[in-house]
Amino acid sequence: MKQKNIKHLYRRVGFGILPTDLDKLSKLKRKEVINSLFVASKKVTPLELDTFEIRSLMGDSYQVAKPNIQKIQKMSRESTLKLNRAWIERLTNPTELVREKMTLFWANHFVCEDNNYVYTENFHNTLRKHALGNFREFVVAISKQAAMTKYLNTKQNRKQKPNENFARELMELFTLGVGNYTEQDIKESAKAFTGYNHTMQGDFVFRKWAHDYGDKTFFGKTGNFDGEDIIDIILEKRRCAEYICEKVYRYFVNDTLNESHVSEMTDVFYKDYNIEKLMRFVCSSNWFYDEENIGTKIKSPIEFLVGIKTLVPIEFNNQKQLMYLQRLMGQVLLDPPNVAGWKGGQNWIDSNTIALRLKLPSLLLNSSYISKSKKGQTDAQLKERKQFFKKNYGKWFNVENDWGYFNKHFKNVAINELDSHVLACNISPNAQEYLNSLEKVSKQEYCIQLMSLPEYQMC
């Protein structure tokens, strides 16, 4: 497989690839490279913290938990911060690469948040478990998660007083998209989800007394439907498969839809709603590697941050700074802006975030200093300038960098070949002229220079 295509594949289903791994894979055929990725992602490794104390405080009923609510909430906040950090580390060092990238994708599709850590962790690992599985089973599992029944008020949905929040978002955001259902469809399907609830520990329970056992008419069909029946009827529509394929295409291929390619994807997905088959098809398609799809997507803040950490491992000594950095860039894991999630694409960039993004590699990797020494500048002048930046800006982020890791994996890469490994798109003439005017002091300095270009924002 061509190295250029391998790098593109790994930037989209992961966060980049190191030269040492690239050399090994380039000896394989495309089918073998893709198969190795999906075979490695067959396994599901949950991301879990110790929840014994929180669960003990929660007990088996609200009456038991009520006196401990403040303590449960405090511990939940602390644990959610830990899960945020653990998730970023998992993304940086994944063993199941495709599954982890798909988990990140689904987290912005089935958007949800909760102030109880037990429910948050369960929901997060449900995303991971079903990320490459059957979409029907996925939707059913999501509909029964405690975090979701709270977030979209399904637990308040009763025969006497239906709540339509989940029924609406199920179609609008999760399966069909706006305009593919009626208000009456929402009302009727809401009745089918009456009785959905959960135990104090977060296990799904069906409250028969709250369920509407009467006939519902949904998408032209009438019957005593329950929630799973509604999901089945929705999935019968080709539009459901098409809607998911559109979102997959925008996330993994291009923000601008190619209707022909989406139609091919829909043909594959609509047969059995197998997510892995869909993703294998996308990664195997020739059009996935077309020039129009390479280096054309703006990295999300998490993709940007994890991409830096993939090349040069970074450890935040002050973990609060990691959260602060996510907030500054506009994407905090486990803290979505609303039920529609992050819009992505060009919305990731504005005048504030682009300034931070361009500066961030030097802030994290070189005490805020970007080597801009002109050719012929003395070592003494360079050292003085670097010391100035370290003194004035070096403490913005308290981090430790493993440049030894970078040097090990880039040992056999010539400095003038570094750009093809760091950047996904071609360097503009102006940027190339700027780079040519600088002294290439070392691979480390040149790597930071490349990461500080607008081109590094693309994947």
Look at residue 130 in the predicted model and tell me its pLDDT. Answer: 99
Q: Is 351 exposed, middle or buried (0-12, 13-18, 19+ CB in 10 A)?
A: exposed
Report the pLDDT averaged over residues 166-174: 98
Look at residue 438 in the predicted model and tell me its pLDDT. Answer: 85
Look at residue 194 in the predicted model and tell me its pLDDT. Answer: 98
Q: In this model, does residue 393 exceed pLDDT 70?
A: no
Residue 400's pLDDT band (boundaries 50, 70, 90)? very high
Burial call 4-13: b when 16+ CB within 10 Å, e when fewer? ebbbbbbbbb
What is the rounded CA–CA span in Å between residue 233 and residue 181? Answer: 12
Report the pLDDT averaged over residues 220-242: 98
Q: In this model, does residue 38 exceed pLDDT 60?
A: yes
Report the pLDDT averaged over residues 279-297: 98
> Quick one: DSSP state of residue 194?
T
Radius of gyration of the chain (CA): 24
Look at residue 354 in the predicted model and tell me its pLDDT. Answer: 95
Look at residue 441 in the predicted model and tell me its pLDDT. Answer: 82
Between 1 and 381, the higher pLDDT residue: 1
Asked whether 111 and 336 are in contact (CB, 8 A), the reply is yes
Report the pLDDT averaged over residues 30-55: 98
Look at residue 340 in the predicted model and tell me its pLDDT. Answer: 97
Q: In this model, does residue 377 exceed pLDDT 70?
A: no
Look at residue 408 in the predicted model and tell me its pLDDT. Answer: 97
pLDDT tens digits, one per residue of 411-427: 999 999 999 999 999 99
Place of tokens 């009302």: 187
Residue 396's pLDDT band (boundaries 50, 70, 90)? confident
Q: How many residues does the chain have?
A: 459
- Grouping H, G, I as helix, E, B as strand and the rest as coil, residue 25 is helix
**Minimum mean pLDDT range among 86-95, 249-258, 362-371, 403-412:** 362-371
What is the rounded CA–CA span in Å between residue 3 and residue 208? Answer: 58
